[in-house]
Amino acid sequence: MLSITLGLSAQKQQITLEEIWSGAFSTEGIASLRSLQAGDQYTTLEYNEGQSQIVVYDYKSMSKQGVLLSSGTEIPRFSSYAFNQDESKILIATQRTPIFRRSSEAVYYIFDRTARKLIQVDSDKIKVPAFSPNGTELAYIKENNLYLFDLQSLSSKQLTTDGAEGSIINGHADWVYEEEFSLVQAYEFNASGSHITYLKFDESEVPEFSMDIYGQNLYPYPYRFKYPKAGEKNAEVSVYFIDLKSGAQQKANLQPQEYTMRIYAKNEANKMVVQTLNRHQNHLMLHEIDLKSNTSSVLLEEKDEAYIDIHDNLTFLENDDFIWTSEADGYNHLYLYNADGSLKNQLTSGDYEVTAFYGYDSKRKRLFYQSTEPSSIERAVYRIAPNGRFKTKITQEAGTYSAQFSADYTYFIATYESATTPPEFSLRDPGSGKLLSVIKDNQSLLKKLDSYELSPKEYGTLRVGNSSLNMYMIRPADFDPNKQYPLLMFQYSGPGSQQVADRWMGTNDYWHQMLAQQGYVIACVDPRGTGFRGRDFKKVTYLNLVKLETEDQIAAAQKLSELPYIDADRTGIWGWSFGGHMSTNALLKGNEVFEMAIAVAPVTSWRFYDTIYTERFLRTPAENPEGYDNESPFNYPELLKGKYLLVHGSADDNVHVQNSMRMIEALIEANKPFDWAIYPDRNHGIYGGNTRLHLYNKLTQFILNNL
């Protein structure tokens, strides 16, 4: 049964694509917030009259205390900043050049606050610089090698020499680790700063992918990079550590596994922890490495019948006891372990997920975390004692809360949003959650939107088979229950993802509002396999990716079409990336239900996608060929009956345009009519210049013409 509420509004101003993509509905935020060590002040990165500034604020009064650093005549405009341990020096990034999704290189400077002096770290652009724990040195990567910059002598020392393009990478992740493990910086100092532990990637045998870059050149040129597709060879990753005083290097002795994804420093200076995973990604190990003896032991081990998701929720306490999150009991929860890896206590339990760990207040003996305990589409912030008692919810309103705490846990800045409330930033008391002051509330945006014709997001659940699926619906503001409306479904559907959440609007939401203004009903359903509803709900799609999700979208469309105000002969679906794969499959396998689909940057065969993501859910093509081919839409193009638009960027380094080209060829051979567009030199996000406006004009017109 569908559970929704009705919302009506009077005729007002219409949203336009030009407004959406000009940033007319952007929200104000707080950029690069850093709590200063004393705990009574924090800094943010702000821009004023074209200059970048690090601005200091007082927590208690919330008053501006001054500008710590500003770009100008002698200091170039910067895009990020970081302090060393005693906050006497500031690292700033200028002339940043993006590489892949998370990586970049830039010209970096260090500003010495005492000497009021600006120091350039290296004459070239460098990657992932990081201060040593004592703040007197800075490590960084250049040309695939690890360097160390001494802040006293102002000189650099090259620590590794074998780095080579397409072969050896020291201290920096390769493409697939960056994309799928969210790893860029692949080195860490130990607690005393005497050693650096780093990952060495040997990608010499990883297959190379090539795509043409067109630009304004007479001849296009090929762009090549290492990309291991499902079943192919990954980079060989080894763990090394360097004694920074002697320069001696050793390869760490530890039990090898296919993937090495994380390095952590324990508080004990001679101990490091490395996280590894087998190729099936269902056996995770935390290894403790002794830097003196070069011996290792297994600190923690986890296994799962399907797969284990990688996270960053490992926190060492002062005595090296540690906090860890795990799905061991069926939901993601907090666990406290002794320093030797023995379990001390499960801190949280219940049919909800811990979604973030914020840290441990050692003075007051309490931990802070975010969870879905109120509902799977909400987020709230809690505190709890190390023995798992005295759990207290410190945020109250329904919606989505996150938190950032002061260094001494005296205050926290809460970010709150919901479907009806744009992001609000407020100062609160960590003990009670009491509101101390409002920092920003985006009320000016709400006031602006009062003049627009907007419809509420109506949240509910949809019963499909034995599953209750979260959904939302947007109906025209002048909705008439006696009329019939075309239905456009939007989804992503990827493993562990979530689209149905009580949060503020993104750009697609404004576009959906625009379509609702033109008489469309928009619906979004999170199928089986999506996240934040427990291990079993998420991992039910294991080895059969896209199958159950497609069945759920088809069944949901059928269910929604039974509503008296939905025109069952005008049902469309669209999605991007994984969602593009889904919309394509839904149109083909649900050709009696869907009349139209749009697929943007879709996967059309998991054989074309990378090892880490794909094998996590399907294993290798050799082990599970049916899992790869049964849901690959270019294997059944003859099922196409409805209107289909296929869009891709030619320089997509993530989901290669090869996916769309194979789909196009299959449709041509099946003599099936369809529409398609390729955006030259655009990556997976298909943006840059006028691209997004052009793209959404195309999507809009296709919907108006065909649904």
Please say whether the beta carbons of 198 and 184 come within 8 A. no
Successive 10-residue mean pLDDT values, the chain, 707 residues: 40 92 96 95 94 96 95 94 96 96 97 95 98 96 98 96 97 98 98 98 98 95 97 98 96 96 97 98 98 97 97 95 97 98 97 97 96 98 96 97 97 98 97 96 96 97 96 97 98 98 98 98 98 98 98 98 98 98 98 98 98 98 98 98 98 98 98 98 97 98 98
Please say whether the beta carbons of 203 and 255 come within 8 A. no
Q: In 3D, which of 410, 407, 360, 409 has the Cα closest to residue 387?
A: 360
Q: Any residues with CB less than 8 A from the CB of 386 and at least 6 apart, and which?
A: 336, 345, 347, 360, 365, 366, 367
Q: What confidence score (pLDDT) does residue 73 get?
A: 85
Q: What confidence score (pLDDT) does residue 11 get?
A: 61
Both tokens of 207, joined, read 């297959």
CATH 3.40.225.10 is the classification of domain 17-21+446-706: no
Which pLDDT tens digit goes with each residue over 605-640?
999 999 999 999 999 999 999 999 999 999 999 999
Both tokens of 329, joined, read 């009991």
Q: How far apart are CA 92 and CA 111, in angstroms?
A: 8
In the three-class reduction of DSSP (H, G, I as helix; E, B as strand; rest coil), residue 511 is classed as helix
Q: Count the Cβ atoms, other than its own, within 10 Å of residue 190.
A: 24
Q: In 3D, which of 515, 520, 457, 516 has the Cα closest to residue 699?
A: 515
Q: How far apart are CA 680 and CA 622, in angstroms?
A: 34
Q: What confidence score (pLDDT) does residue 6 get?
A: 38
* Sequential DSSP letters for 247-303: --EEE------SEEEEEEE-SSTTEEEEEEE-TTS-EEEEEEEETTTTEEEEEEEEE
Q: Count the Cβ atoms, other than its own, within 10 Å of residue 392.
A: 14
Q: How far is CA 52 from CA 6, 83, 93, 366, in A?
A: 46, 16, 11, 37
Number of H helices, E strands in the chain: 11, 43
Determine whether 409 is exposed, middle or buried from the number of CB atoms within 10 Å of its CB (0-12, 13-18, 19+): buried
Determine whether 670 is exposed, middle or buried from the number of CB atoms within 10 Å of its CB (0-12, 13-18, 19+): middle
Please say whether the beta carbons of 404 and 394 come within 8 A. no
Please say whether the beta carbons of 394 and 410 come within 8 A. no
Both tokens of 365, joined, read 């003996």
Q: In 3D, which of 107, 254, 178, 161 has the Cα closest to residue 613?
A: 178
Residue pointed to by tokens 């991992």: 539
Query: Phi, psi (5° rounding) for residue 209?
Result: -110, 145
Please say whether the beta carbons of 699 and 574 come within 8 A. yes
Q: How far is CA 372 from CA 311, 331, 413, 466, 533, in A?
A: 17, 11, 19, 22, 9
Q: What confidence score (pLDDT) does residue 4 get?
A: 39
Please say whether the beta carbons of 179 and 654 come within 8 A. yes
Instruction: Spell 434-448 as b/e; 16+ CB within 10 A means b.
Output: eeeeebbbbeebeee
Q: Count the Cβ atoms, other than its own, within 10 Å of residue 3.
A: 12
466 HSE (CA, 13 A, CB side): 3
Q: What confidence score (pLDDT) does residue 5 get?
A: 38
Q: What confidence score (pLDDT) does residue 339 get?
A: 97
> Edge-to-edge strand order for the sheet containing 412-417?
400-405, 412-417, 424-428, 435-440
Query: Phi, psi (5° rounding) for residue 613?
Result: -65, -50
- β-bridge pairing 485-490 and 521-525: parallel
Please say whether the beta carbons of 392 and 381 come within 8 A. no
Q: In 3D, which of 74, 78, 105 has the Cα closest to residue 91?
A: 78
Domain boundary assignment for the chain: 17-21+446-706
Which pLDDT tens digit goes with each residue over 2-36?
433 334 444 689 999 999 999 999 999 999 999 99
